[in-house]
Amino acid sequence: MRFHSLRIAALFGLAALALIANGKKPISAAQLAPPTSPSVALSASPASAPAGQPVMLTWSSTNATSITLEPSVGPVATQGSTIVKPSQSTTYTVTATGPGGSAHATAQVIITPGPSPTAVQKPSQGETTSEQRQMRGLDEQIQEIKSDALRMSAEMSQLEEKLLYPSGTQVAIFVALAKGDTMRLDAVRLQIDGQLVPGPAQGRGATDLRRQCVDRGSQAGRAYRRQA
């Protein structure tokens, strides 16, 4: 009877050990290893530039969950690029944070001095001499154009005189009053062969002649310009 009780107790002990062994799961090597530390890289292109000119910052990271770029940028994606326009030499810092900790990288942008206003605006002696020669050449051309315009004006005046008052059609009329006559002469009406002769600037015929003179003068001016 006592032997039977010990046997039952041993069986219960073995069953309990089997239940405990089945309840525990095996632990993998990955669960026992610590998290991998993050890494990050940062570059600036170009590394030097005049103040206010665009500079591209480019970064990449591994094993990171958040990235911060300073100064003046803030949180960014785990990899990418952005444009900055620093007014003075600046060192940019990118910080990567992940389960394994944090990592940092920097890139410096150096601001180079621009050319002085005097160096930009002051022309060289050779350039000044060349500009003076060009100005003298322009002045000579303007004087030639003025002379041509005056000569054309004189030629057009002569042409107008010939067209309006041809020498073969001019008639001189002289009217005299007796000495001591109190009558004042206001107008003279002249008839030749029974037809009234208009004054030098009156009548339809004179208007037509003046219009023809202007038209011919314009044509002569255009022909002269084409020849020039």
pLDDT digits (tens, 9 = 90+) for 131-159: 788 888 888 889 889 888 998 988 888 88
At 171-188, the pLDDT tens digits run 677 777 666 666 676 777
Q: Report in angstroms the alpha-carbon separations of 157 from 36, 150, 210, 215, 216.
A: 102, 11, 11, 13, 12
1 part of a folded domain: no
User: Do 90 and 143 have their domain in common?
Assistant: no
Mean pLDDT of 47-72: 92
On whether both 158 and 208 belong to a single domain, the answer is yes
Give the integer Cα–Cα distance in Å for 95 and 205: 99
Q: Which H or E run includes 155?
A: helix 125-164
Measured CA to CA in angstroms, residue 125 lies from 118, 122, 133 at distances of 14, 9, 12
Buried-exposed string 170-193: b where 16+ CB fall within 10 A, e elsewhere: eeeeeeeeeeeeeeeeeeeeeeee
Q: Which of 173, 160, 147 is nearest to 201 (CA)?
A: 160
The reply to whether 105 falls in a domain is: yes
Q: Is 88 domain-assigned? A: yes
Is residue 167 one of the residues assigned to a domain? yes
Range 65-77 average pLDDT: 92
Categorise residue 96: left if φ over 0, alpha if ψ from -120 to 50, beta otherwise.
beta
**Beta strand 195-196 pairing with 80-84:** unpaired
Whether 108 and 146 share a structural domain: no
Q: Write down the pLDDT at residue 8.
A: 59
Pairing of strands 80-84, 55-62: antiparallel
Strand partners, 41: 60
How many angstroms separate the CA atoms of 62 and 95, rounded?
12
What are the beta bridge partners of residue 28? Answer: none
What percent of the chain stands above pLDDT 70? 59
Give bridge partners of residue 76 from the DSSP assignment: 67
Buried b (16+ CB within 10 A) or exposed e, 65-103: eebebeeeeeebebeeeeebebeeebebebbbbbeeeeb
| Position 202 pLDDT exceeds 50 | no
Instruction: Note down the domain range covering 68.
Output: 35-112
What 3-state class would DSSP assign to 38? coil
Q: Which residue has the tokens 């015929």?
A: 205
Q: Is residue 25 part of a domain?
A: no
* pLDDT at residue 85, rounded to an integer: 92
The CATH number linked to 43 is: 2.60.40.10
Q: How many domains does the chain contain in total?
A: 2
Overall pTM surpassing 0.75 (yes/no): no
Question: 107 and 202: one domain?
Answer: no
